[in-house]
């Protein structure tokens, strides 16, 4: 069974190198730290493509789950991964943004 780290590493080899987080109601694509990388890019969840979804369930508690989204921004060409944990401590803003993602996987 693939771990979260293994999933992220596999997706990085496919070009999903940015780390995505939530900022001001948008998804923020953050390039790996390097001098020649572009600055962070903010995207509305409706404007990105969902290229892959990898779900993980907790071994002892199925409500302790995580998901890794492989997302791309067709306008800028940026690609990255966004990891969310599900359960009682889930960030409400991240929940709302995840619900606004396109429902089809490309």
* Domain ranges, ordered by start, for the chain: 4-99
**Residue 36 pLDDT > 90:** no
Give residue-wise pLDDT tens across range 38-89: 788 999 999 999 999 999 986 655 666 899 999 999 999 999 999 998 777 7
Asked if 50 and 102 touch (Cβ cutoff 8 Å), the reply is: yes
Long-range CB pairs of 19-24, under 8 A, 24+ apart, other chains included: 19/80, 19/81, 20/69, 20/71, 20/80, 20/81, 20/82, 21/82, 22/91, 22/93, 22/94, 22/97
């Amino acid at each position: 069974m693939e771990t979260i780290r293994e999933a992220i590493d596999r997706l990085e080899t496919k070009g999903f190198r940015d780390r995505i987080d939530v900022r001001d109601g948008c998804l923020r694509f953050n390039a790996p730290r390097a001098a020649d990388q572009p600055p962070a890019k903010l995207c509305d969840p409706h404007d990105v493509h969902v290229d892959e979804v990898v779900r993980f369930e907790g071994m002892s508690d199925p409500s302790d789950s995580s998901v890794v989204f492989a997302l791309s921004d067709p306008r800028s060409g940026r690609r990255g991964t966004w990891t969310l944990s599900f359960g009682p401590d889930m960030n409400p803003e991240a929940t709302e943004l995840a619900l606004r993602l396109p429902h089809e996987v490309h």
